Amino acid sequence: MSDSSSDDDIALSKRNKASLNGNGKKRKKINSSDDDDDVPLSKRIATPPASSPLKKRKTEPKSKSTSKNGTSKKDVKEEPITPKKATVKKSTTSPTKKSTTASKKAVKKDDDKDKDKGKVKISKVKKEEKEDTPSQSQQPEEQEDEETYKWWEAEDLDGEVKWDSLEHNGVLFPPEYEPLPSHVKLWYSGKPIDLPPTAEEVAGFYAAMLETDHAKNEVFQKNFFEDFLQVIKETKDDQLRSTIVSFDQCDFSKMYAHFEQLREEKKGLSKDEKKRIKEEKEKLEEPYKTCYLNGRAELVGNFRVEPPGLFRGRGAHPKTGKLKRRVFPENVTLNLSKDAKVPPPPPGHEWGEIRHDNTVTWLAMWKENIADNLKYVRFAASSSIKGQSDFKKFETARNLKNYVDAIRKDYTKNLKSELMQERQLASATYLIDKFALRAGGEKGDDEADTVGCCSLRFEHITLKPPNIVVFDFLGKDSIRFYQEVEVDKQVFKNLRIFKKSPKGPGDDLFDRINPSILNKQLQNYMKGLTAKVFRTYNASKTMQDQLDLIPNEGTVAEKLVKFNAANRTVAILCNHQRTVSKSHGNTVQKINDKLKEFLWQKIRLKKMILLLEPNLKKKDKKYFEEIEDLIKEDEEYIHDLVITRQREQVLKKMVRDNEKLKSENEPLLTEKSDSIKEKLDKIKELEDDYKKELKTGKPVMRKTVTVEKLKQQIETIETRILNTTLQLKDKEDNSEVSLGTSKMNYIDPRLTVMFSKKYDVPIEKLFTKTLREKFTWAIESADKDWRF
């Protein structure tokens, strides 16, 4: 069992195979999507091709042990940080002194009062009445009720130092592994196997995912199994080691079934019990949720250490399925004030490192073992520190409008530059500006092969004279970017040059530039300008323009629809997608059936009118024209639909009633029971009527009606048809577009606030609670006339 060393080979042999031509570092990968040659526009191909699309959702038991593990957590929380009383920071602390040394990190952290940042004025000092109850009980509620710190009314900070004091209670570790009950085992070669807990845990990770697409992915299986073998090796159980050698012999289904059962049980819990469990969980988390930044309470974002599991890489990630190992306190570095109390590590453990670096904003950090990346515990999105940088981001983007004309003019000119590098820079900037591409840094062979602007390769664009470019590549998260667009003539020419031989598939389109060069160039125009600013700028600009088109009229619901439509144009610009839910096809089918049925009803009613007054047909030809639209097959189909549905309803109700009767020990109903039979007979009668109708083409009328009434009914149905049609269209339009990402990251929230105020649409309809908290600064600072 070679361990890690072999990762690379496995990792998608297919993909790397191709890479030879071009210079060494270039990767090649021509068919990112073997199987989807003609996927409809912008359909993602990230997901593994095979796999049955209609699989019902399987949830994998997240981490085993539903139980309240008994680990040490509690001990830890015994002393949450003391509420640090109000630290009234004098508003005017040393006004700006420019941070002297440019970059020394960690140099000036801690408490020397003369930080550079200075000038944060506290507009409202929070008082903490709780001070006398030092321990656990500082409830967030109380604190929330107090005035929150309005940093946006304070002066800005600018500089290296991010805080003056920082206190927190560390991080929450996942519960220890609890071995499965003895009757649940991994089976191998048809026999149950005893696994030591560490190995069983890993097997369980896979078992829990058995019905997911991941588990069916070969790379995933390979990576998982390799690491599984490695863990077995680490157990030093030589016999076991020699037993388990082949993935194909492993049968995880028993374990899977067990997890399913646990899930069911959990679902079946009574309300009270669920509530109790939840409360317990909250209590456990309590101490970690809040920290103190410069003496003020702030929420922590991800205070939970990521639990071990199998790495779920997106797209064709070479490392997908590898074991993400458990993180121990020894792996964790905490960051807090020098004079802050260091939270006690879980009993029997030590913290890896304690740091006091006030030039960064993370509270804790550890290194993950898949790609050796750092993972951070940070402040929540609603925190002042995040809010400030968010604000800054939008102000930078907003500032771009003062420069964008010049920049565009320049790059248009430079499209013809004699210098290849300049020409490439100009062309790349054009693409970023026009199509909202990302910068596109280099990626390694041990990552999914995705690209952005600077890393576009030969095969990612196709040129169609005179000036059409077809983009087709996988971007961030392996989301497909497919667009057929018209471009500037000169850009088209340039792209053709950039593709000229000897370049071929696998070669970089922009071989003279990279994001670093590009950004450096952009900085010349404006401080803080980088490639990603264009995405923010263009997104917000687009939103502003779209909102400007909306008339201030109609109901709230109508205005909301328009707002969402504007939001959608932005999402489409940024290529924000989501997978269509596997039930989507079904849903659409259902709606279509509904529509058909409405139509049928309508026509049927019209026929009735004619039965009552045949001469109307000549009088109002148009009105009755559509009767011909209904073809026999459809009619039959709908009859069947209606009849089947009614029967099912009756039977379903019977089943439900029976459950009640059963518990009361009453005799059960059957299809023979009088009440049921009566209903069924009626349906049968209806069915016969329909059959007759089908033959004669004349609806059977059992009740007396008037033409007036029928016309009225028709009208009702018509509005229903209209509504349903709209609903369907909306659903289709939206099914693969994700509005959330742009709302959260790209559209200046002040635009949304402006819309809310100007159009009188409650902000609750536009921002969810979390977004309202994140964007409090915008809600309080923008008015109805605000402009991006």
Task: Name which of residues 215 to 254 contact DNA (CB under 7 A).
Answer: none
Residues 744-763 vs DNA: string with x where CB under 7 A?
A: -xx-----------------
Find, among 540, 538, 561, the residue nearest to 551 by Cα.
561
CB of 237 to DNA, least distance (A): 28
Residues 392-421 vs DNA: string with x where CB under 7 A?
A: -x----------------------------
Report CA-CA distances (Å) from 156 to 96, 389, 750, 777: 10, 11, 18, 13
Q: Does 699 bind DNA (CB under 7 A)?
A: no
CB of 313 to DNA, least distance (A): 4
CB of 62 to DNA, least distance (A): 5
Q: How many whole angstroms separate alpha carbon 568 and alpha carbon 542?
A: 10
Residues paired with residue 80 on neighbouring β-strands, in sequence order: none
Looking at beta carbons only, is 371 or 705 nearer to DNA?
Answer: 371
- Spell out the residues 6+ positions from residue 9 whose beta carbon is closer than 8 angstroms to its own: none
For the segment 516-535, give every residue that binds DNA (CB under 7 A): 516, 519-520, 523, 530-533, 535
For the segment 152-181, give every residue that binds DNA (CB under 7 A): 162
> Pick from 82, 235, 579, 673: which binds DNA (CB under 7 A)?
579
> Pick from 389, 524, 644, 725: which binds DNA (CB under 7 A)?
389
What stretches of 655-745 adopt beta strand conformation (E)? none
> Pick from 170, 321, 346, 452: which binds DNA (CB under 7 A)?
452
CB of 230 to DNA, least distance (A): 18
Q: Does 447 bind DNA (CB under 7 A)?
A: yes
Q: How many whole angstroms separate alpha carbon 453 and alpha carbon 473?
A: 10
User: Judged by CB under 7 A, which stretch of 499-507, 605-613, 764-772, 775-783 contacts DNA?
Assistant: 764-772
Report CA-CA distances (Å) from 438 to 219, 316, 481: 28, 20, 11
Segments in 28-88 forming alpha helices (H): 73-77
Looking at beta carbons only, is 188 or 362 nearer to DNA?
Answer: 362
Strands 186-188 and 191-193: antiparallel
User: Judged by CB under 7 A, which stretch of 185-193, 250-258, 357-365, 597-605 contacts DNA?
Assistant: 357-365
CB of 624 to DNA, least distance (A): 29
Classify residue 531 as exposed, middle or buried by CB count within 10 Å of its CB (0-12, 13-18, 19+): buried
Query: What burial letters (b/e) apply to 636-651, b meaning 16+ CB within 10 Å?
Result: eebbeebeeebeeebe
Q: Does 740 bind DNA (CB under 7 A)?
A: yes
Q: How many residues bind DNA (CB under 7 A)?
A: 96
Among candidate residues 177, 188, 482, 746, the one labeled active-site is 746
Q: Does 576 bind DNA (CB under 7 A)?
A: yes
Looking at beta carbons only, is 81 or 439 nearer to DNA?
Answer: 439
Q: Does 558 bind DNA (CB under 7 A)?
A: no
Q: Is 746 a catalytic residue?
A: yes
Would you say 354 and 341 are in contact if contact means Cβ atoms under 8 Å apart?
no
Looking at beta carbons only, is 259 or 458 nearer to DNA?
Answer: 259
Amino acid present at 181: P
For the segment 55-84, give every residue that binds DNA (CB under 7 A): 57-60, 62
> Pick from 96, 212, 249, 658: which binds DNA (CB under 7 A)?
212
Looking at beta carbons only, is 509 or 710 nearer to DNA?
Answer: 509
Q: Does 122 bind DNA (CB under 7 A)?
A: no
Q: Does 314 bind DNA (CB under 7 A)?
A: yes
For the segment 80-109, give every residue that binds DNA (CB under 7 A): 102-105
Looking at beta carbons only, is 216 or 617 nearer to DNA?
Answer: 216
Which stretch of DSSP H or E encloses residue 374?
strand 374-377
Query: Does residue 508 come out as left (phi exceeding 0), alpha (psi in the -120 to 50 range) or beta?
Result: beta
Residue 483 DSSP SS3? strand
767's tokens: 């921002």
For the segment 263-302, give every residue that binds DNA (CB under 7 A): 278, 301-302
* Phi and psi angles of residue 355, each rounded to the nearest 5 degrees, phi first: -120, 160
Rg, Å, the chain Cα set: 32
User: Judged by CB under 7 A, which stretch of 362-370, 544-552, 603-611, 664-672 contacts DNA?
Assistant: 362-370
Q: Does 258 bind DNA (CB under 7 A)?
A: no
CB of 570 to DNA, least distance (A): 10
Find, among 469, 453, 433, 456, the residue nearest to 509 by Cα.
456
Would you say 293 and 163 are in contact if contact means Cβ atoms under 8 Å apart?
yes
Find, among 772, 573, 626, 604, the residue nearest to 689 by Cα.
604
Residues 316-345 vs DNA: string with x where CB under 7 A?
A: -x------x---------------------
Residues paired with residue 298 on neighbouring β-strands, in sequence order: 291
**Is residue 466 reached through a cis peptide bond, with omega within 30 degrees of 0 on the bond before it?**
yes
> Pick from 221, 575, 752, 756: which binds DNA (CB under 7 A)?
575
CB of 695 to DNA, least distance (A): 30
Amino acid present at 128: E
Would you say 759 and 753 are in contact if contact means Cβ atoms under 8 Å apart?
no
- Spell out the residues 6+ positions from residue 241 whose beta carbon is closer than 8 angstroms to its own: 1, 229, 232, 233, 235
Q: Does 536 bind DNA (CB under 7 A)?
A: yes
Residue 184 DSSP SS3? coil
CB of 365 to DNA, least distance (A): 6
For the segment 634-653, give every residue that binds DNA (CB under 7 A): 649
> Pick from 337, 478, 538, 756: which binds DNA (CB under 7 A)?
478
Q: So which residues are the catalytic ones?
A: 746
